[in-house]
Amino acid sequence: MSARDDILARVRRSPPAARPLPVWPAFAAPGTPTPAAFDEFAAALQRMGGKVADATAPADVAALVARLFPSARVIASAAPEMPGHRPLATLAHPRELDDVDVGVVRAAFGVAETGSVLLTERELVVEALGFLAQHLVVLLDPARVVATLHDAYLDAAFRDARYTILMTGPSATADIEGVLIHGAQGIRSLTVVPCAAGSSASSA
């Protein structure tokens, strides 16, 4: 046994005692009225370069994606609302998603404060879908928008997941001569579709 293996084995044999997580404080002032959560979410998302499907979008998710991305050749969907061209359950390796034009997922919830959507291993099925696709379409139930990041951390969807990402708009960088560029390291666009769970897409 190498020194490394011996050290790791000793650590595994002597784990620290489990302790309960601290109580997360509520930061909202008592009596503060709840804002129009989805409207606040949409405004924050658009500030970060994301988009919200407009009110004239078709009721069918597949038709909506076809209208938004008419030149897309490969669509990979982890959302039950529409099939994709690349079945995620049969992928041998995540790199098989490197030619995906549009990825479609359903978010666990949105965060009004930041315009973020929570994606976990359950929603993505293959985590790389959220990063290798050229464009990402996210279905979000307008009733599943929490007010702040503090509320997000308390939500069971965040707390119980193995993998989580709070995605806020498309990939962006301003490191190159101070110019903001979207799609530099990941998805080129992120479009949120207001769509209640178990239904077809609709505007909110």
Round to whole Å and give the CA distance between 110 and 168. Answer: 10
DSSP H or E segment with residue 170 = none
| Domains of the chain: total | 1
Assigned domain for 203 exists = no
Q: How far apart are the first and last CA of the chain?
A: 61
Question: Is 153 a domain residue?
Answer: yes
| Mean pLDDT within 151-167 | 91
Domain contains 3: no
- The answer to whether residue 1 is domain-embedded is no
Lowest mean pLDDT among 37-51, 58-72, 79-93, 174-188: 174-188
In order of 18, 24, 39, 83, 151, the CA distances from 21 in angstroms are: 9, 9, 32, 40, 15
pLDDT tens figures, 103-145: 999 999 999 999 999 999 999 999 999 999 999 999 999 989 9
Q: Encoding tokens for residue 12?
A: 């595994």
Q: What is the CATH number of the domain that holds 151?
A: 3.40.50.10420
Report if residue 11 sits inside a domain. no
Q: Look at residues 202, 189, 64 and name the one whose alpha carbon lies nearest to residue 141.
A: 202
67 occurs within a structural domain? yes
One-letter amino acid identity for 35? P
Task: Please tell me the predicted confidence (pLDDT) of residue 161.
Answer: 93
The reply to whether 8 falls in a domain is no
* The model's pTM: 0.79
Is 102 domain-assigned?
A: yes
In terms of residue numbers, what domain contains 111?
Answer: 34-194
Please say if the pLDDT value at position 33 is more than 60. no
Q: What does the pLDDT read at residue 32?
A: 47
pLDDT digits (tens, 9 = 90+) for 167-196: 998 888 777 777 777 766 788 999 999 988
